[in-house]
Amino acid sequence: MLTVGSAAKSITWLSAVAVPLVLQTFTAAAAESTVDTLEEIVVTAQKRSENVQDVPSSISVLGGEQLQTLHAVQLTDYAAYVPGFQVDTRGSPGQAQLTLRGVAASISSGPTVGVYLDDSPVGSSSIFAQGSSFQVDLMPYDIERIEVLRGPQGTLYGASTMGGLLKYVTRAPDLDSFELRAGTDVLTIKGGSGTGWGGRAGINVPLIDGKLALRASVYKEYTPGYIDNALSGRKDENALEQLGGRAALLWRANDQLSVKLSAMIQNVDSESGATVVVNPVPRSAAGGIEIGRPIYGDLFSAHALPTPFSQRFHFYSATVNYDLGWAELVSATSYSLSHLRINIDFSQAAFGSLVCQLDPACPAGGHGLAPLHTELPLEKVTQELRLASPTGGRFEWLLGGFYTNEDAPMSERLGASSSSQVPLPFIDPLAFLEEPSKYREIAVFGDATYRFNELFDTTAGLRWARNSQSTSTTSSGLIFDPPSITNAGSSEDVVTYMVSPRLHLTKDVMLYARVASGYRPGGPNAPFPGVPPKADSDRLTNYELGFKSELLEHRATLDLSVFDIEWKDIQVQGITPDGLNYNTNGGTARSRGVELATLYAPLAGLHLGLNTSYTDAHLTEPLPSLQGQTGDRLPLSAKVSASLTAEYAFPLQGDWTGRAGGGYRYVGDRFSEVESSPTSARLPAYRMLDLNIGLSNGRFNLNLFAKNVLDERAYLSTITDRVRAVLPVNIAQPRTIGASLDVRF
């Protein structure tokens, strides 16, 4: 394993020897280079394997090698390189809200961006399991690629993909080649006193040549903490550990039948979030908050109680492909289990004051301790069957059926403790809630493509889905005296559609239009006076024009899309005069924008990229329950985001190759809530620079990386409804420098 000392020596050597060599080689290459052509990128966005440039939709793809070069260990390491993709995190993998094209999930509790692992959805689609706040955030080891599909994907992917889809595609077992690989890394983070490290290994074994193969991998990554707690005195309190593994078995019985079985486990353990406390500054007389100066200094939090977070994710799947000749039959079955444990310190909120009032030992004007502990298990079973015609004909079609069953027995316990963290008798717990919920969905879907000639074709799709939900709430504790039990249920039918004509100006240049709809399931409310029995699904329609091209003899790609999204019946949370929260619908919104993605290979080994987006997402009607006004920007939506990338690979002596690259990412300012809300905080724009340099010869790959080189203090998210004298804000990881070594046999 690399040590800090060896990493420093490597950096020194590369600075003195490799960097001048890069410049000399670059000059020589410019004089006598044979230009590169860009590799074809194959995606499964339309549930068929096809070139990404042929898909009439806005898609970004991040390859496994690119993620490894970035030393990406969570979504926030690479999200800003994808146009229009916003990830707002609480400071560790698994605690994040995903936003695409400004369609924000934070207005309600249901997600607006779906997450798929190969052919199966993961995470919850209901409004009861906090699916918008907690995601499956995989460390991308043994990942072939990540596909990000922008715009509603409700026809092929169903519920909660109204903003788009994040799809992890894992590496399949290789039936013919043996492979063994292992790697390690070491890193340091500004502000932290510890050293981070990681280890990983993978193997592919053909058990029967051409028939049966096994691929397996394991990894462990430790990221040191860099946040100090001003109240407890604890140093580096936000250390993070990720541990996982995967195994996949592929059996190709004959040319027609193949079966893939896979299992994946990932554990995330964070000692605390990457949260600092700042002074909340009034934005204007009308309300709102600006991010002020850190109260206790840079990289300091302030909470009295520990706030650990953990996620256990297990995923098992079976995929069967059978070629019938006239069509291909695919069966995708999955079972996933996610268990979250979330701890939040409510001591500085109103509950801390309440504990102090009830505790005779608490000094006047003080705060008691109010720990909130949440258990959030989610058990999910899915089954999809689809039948697809062969590709390449004048008429192509796809028919499918889908079923899912979710159980989420969530519970929350709000405690009351003395200053020595001992539960107070007769007061603890303040509240205990058990809220188990069930979500069931069945759906049928299909699409068809007709090619009128070599220049023009049209694809149309339709999906019908029916979901049924049930929930019960048992409340007890000091606040809920006497205890109560409520039960509720609902069901609804939803139809989504898609129409997309394509015009092929040449073999490498395509114009497309796309009209597509998406939805997010509603759900029942507890039967209280003045509360509607349920919230309906909210829906949107996307109107899109796009241009995709491969230029300069396949040395450049240029993709441009323009979209207009109409969102209606937005799901929001209402509140009764007695202070009871419930789900309802209200208001409309619109998101319009432009997205540009380019890649250019001007010289052999040199690739230059530019991605950018402009998104104007705003309310078109008032939202009184959120104190939102017409024209308010939607939460967590940056108007402008952009990234620049460059990578240069060059030959060295023998079979060695050098590589140098970097990326610059910019994300504009966002609001934590709708803009006019008195507690809406404006999160400032941020810029980050990432650099890397490496050596490889096919077997050994040494990579030195630096993330957030300029040490930008990027504020990613905040929860402003808890604002008192301090504002907790989650930040991006400070400057990180490290080295990794991978060996392949």
pLDDT (tens digit per residue) in 498-552: 999 999 999 999 999 999 999 999 999 888 888 888 989 999 999 999 999 999 9
The candidate with the shortest Cα–Cα distance to 391, out of 39, 55, 38, 41, is: 55
Residue 14 pLDDT class (50, 70, 90 cuts): very low
* Both tokens assigned to 347: 């001591």
Rg (the chain; Cα; Å): 26
Pairing of strands 59-63, 657-667: unpaired
Read off the DSSP letter of residue 569: S
Query: CA 643, CA 222: separation in Å to the nearest integer?
Result: 28
pLDDT average, residue stretch 429-439: 92
Residue 20: its pLDDT value, please?
41
Read off the DSSP letter of residue 145: E
Residue 159 CB contacts under 8 Å (≥ 6 apart), including other chains? 114, 125, 441, 465, 467, 494, 519, 520, 521
pLDDT average, residue stretch 723-741: 88
C-beta of residue 175 within 8 angstroms of C-beta of residue 206? yes
Residue 479: its pLDDT value, please?
85
Give how far the C-alpha of residue 347 lies from the chain's centroid of Cα atoms, to the nearest Å.
30
Bridge partners of residue 206, in order along the sequence: 213
C-beta of residue 105 within 8 angstroms of C-beta of residue 637? no
pLDDT average, residue stretch 339-347: 90
pLDDT average, residue stretch 470-491: 89
Query: CA 70, CA 165: separation in Å to the nearest integer?
Result: 22
Alpha helices in 14-89 (DSSP H): 19-31, 64-69
Residue 679 pLDDT class (50, 70, 90 cuts): confident
pLDDT average, residue stretch 683-711: 95
Kindly list the distances between the CA atom of residue 682 and the CA atoms of 665, 713, 717, in Å, as whole numbers in the listed order. Answer: 19, 15, 10
Domain boundaries 15-744, CATH class: mainly beta
Residue 720: its pLDDT value, please?
64
DSSP for 636-661 reads T--SEEEEEEEEEEEE-STT-EEEEE
Give how far the C-alpha of residue 561 lies from the chain's centroid of Cα atoms, to the nearest Å.
22
| Amino acid code (one letter) for 130 | Q
Show me where the domains of the chain are located.
15-744
Query: CA 475, CA 470: separation in Å to the nearest integer?
Result: 17
Can you give the pTM of this predicted structure? 0.91
Q: Torsion over CA of 207, 210, 213 and 215, rounded to 10 degrees?
A: 130
Residue 34 pLDDT class (50, 70, 90 cuts): low
Bridge partners of residue 397, in order along the sequence: 448
* Both tokens assigned to 16: 């003195």
Counting residues of the chain whose pLDDT is more than 90, the rounded percentage is 64
Give how far the C-alpha of residue 668 lies from the chain's centroid of Cα atoms, to the nearest Å.
18
* Both tokens assigned to 631: 């024209």
pLDDT average, residue stretch 658-663: 95
Indicate whether 432 pLDDT > 70: yes
Q: Strand runs (DSSP E) across 95-136, as ranges?
A: 96-100, 113-117, 120-122
B/e letters for 120-133, b = 16+ CB within 10 Å, e = fewer, are bbbbbbbbbbbbbb
pLDDT average, residue stretch 604-612: 94
Phi, psi dihedrals of residue 285, rounded to the nearest 5°: -65, -25
Q: What is the mean pLDDT of the chain?
A: 89
SS3 letters for 338-390? EEEEEEEECCCCHHHHHHHHHCCCCCCCCCCECEEEEEEEEEEEEEEEEEECC
pLDDT average, residue stretch 325-331: 96
